[in-house]
Amino acid sequence: MLHKQRPATALAGLESPAAGMGRRIDFALQQALSLAAAPGAPPLLGSAMRHAVFPGGARIRPQLCLAVARACGDPHPALSDSAATAIELLHCASLVHDDLPCFDAAAMRRGQPSVHAAYGERIAVLAGDALIVLAFQVLALGAAGQPARLGPLLLLLVQRVGAPDGIVAGQALECEPRVTLAAYHLAKTGSLFAACTEAGALAAGADPAPWRDFGLSLGEAYQVADDVRDVVATTQALGKPAGRDRDLQRPSSASELGLGGAIEYFDRLVARAIAAVPACDGAPLLRELVRTESERLVPKASVRDLALAA
């Protein structure tokens, strides 16, 4: 079995730990992958798709999507599940393609061989493609009971993933001669975090627009935390090679602002995210979760001391 225990995150605390949202997400992802592994499916492709999705990372995107849906009442759990699952599948697809030899040439991901390292480059390209397609299949199936919501959700996700400013465009910015850090962060990470909060609201029948800034700020905070951890963490702790941003000369807040400056910027983004949570019954809980999650991402005790000492 490739399916290992997922590290708990603060957002999982919205439910009791035992029956948490993490389990709901993993179940939905397992169901999704079973669609692609029907009899007659090419075995390597199906296996590579599973390898790309399990074991997962923190599953922070689908948890954020479900947390917002919950804060908005979550009247259609099948729909919010499908939106959260689709977003995680799209995220996993982007990791598979970003790890390819022509991009990051990453041999490790989430503590195991990356998909191209385990299955070869050809299957890695196709597994990414198939995961993108599967994401939209999951969305269509989850919207069966709410057909009027499929169009708006689908349009939201394609805009946050494709060109001109979704995560695929964000990755493409690495191929452009000049790019600003803000545009790069917005497209590469912010856009899919915005998709999480907007889709969570939309799936629950709420207006997605007020939820956009919350997702964007969180996404940028997450990217800055990733930049910081790329500098200070070990390869073992990350489950992927450390120091890659510097090695690949990628735009990074840590190299642009210095470690201390990046941590200050992270704190400002977390504060902005907390301030951006729209008024709703679940707002206090969401704000508290962002605070706890931010401490998980950039722990005061270790990273900040390191920055002061630097």
Where on the chain is the footprint of a copy of itself (CB under 8 A)?
35-46, 49, 93, 97, 100, 102-103, 120-123, 125-126, 128-130, 132-134, 136-137, 139-141, 143-144, 147-148, 150-151, 154-155, 158-159, 161-166, 168-169, 171-176, 183
What is the 3-state composition of the chain as percent helix, strand, coil, each rounded to the nearest 5?
70, 0, 30
* Closer residue to a copy of itself in complex, CB, 49/69: 49
Q: Which among 153, 155, 182 is positioned nearest to 170, based on CA atoms?
A: 182
What's the DSSP call for residue 187? I
Q: C-beta of 99: minimal distance to a copy of itself in Å?
A: 11
* Closer residue to a copy of itself in complex, CB, 84/273: 84
CA 136 to chain centre: 16
Q: C-beta of 143: minimal distance to a copy of itself in Å?
A: 6
Quote the CA–CA distance of 109 and 295 in Å, as a whole number: 23
* Closer residue to a copy of itself in complex, CB, 125/285: 125
Q: C-beta of 55: minimal distance to a copy of itself in Å?
A: 20
* Residue 223 in tokens: 């990217």
Q: C-beta of 52: minimal distance to a copy of itself in Å?
A: 12
* Closer residue to a copy of itself in complex, CB, 14/141: 141
Q: C-beta of 71: minimal distance to a copy of itself in Å?
A: 26
* Closer residue to a copy of itself in complex, CB, 183/233: 183
* Closer residue to a copy of itself in complex, CB, 136/306: 136
Measured CA to CA in angstroms, residue 172 lies from 58, 114, 178, 308 at distances of 25, 21, 12, 35
* Residue 238 in tokens: 């990350």
* Closer residue to a copy of itself in complex, CB, 14/44: 44
Q: C-beta of 13: minimal distance to a copy of itself in Å?
A: 33
CA 295 to chain centre: 18
Output the furthest CA–CA distance in the chain (Å, rounded). Answer: 58
Measured CA to CA in angstroms, residue 150 lies from 98, 106, 139, 205, 221 at distances of 28, 35, 7, 12, 30
Q: C-beta of 27: minimal distance to a copy of itself in Å?
A: 20
Quote the CA–CA distance of 134 and 140 in Å, as a whole number: 10
* Closer residue to a copy of itself in complex, CB, 46/111: 46
CB atoms within 10 A of CB 18: 6
Q: C-beta of 103: minimal distance to a copy of itself in Å?
A: 6
Buried b (16+ CB within 10 A) or exposed e, 114-145: bbbbbbeeebbbbbbebbbebbbbbbeebbee
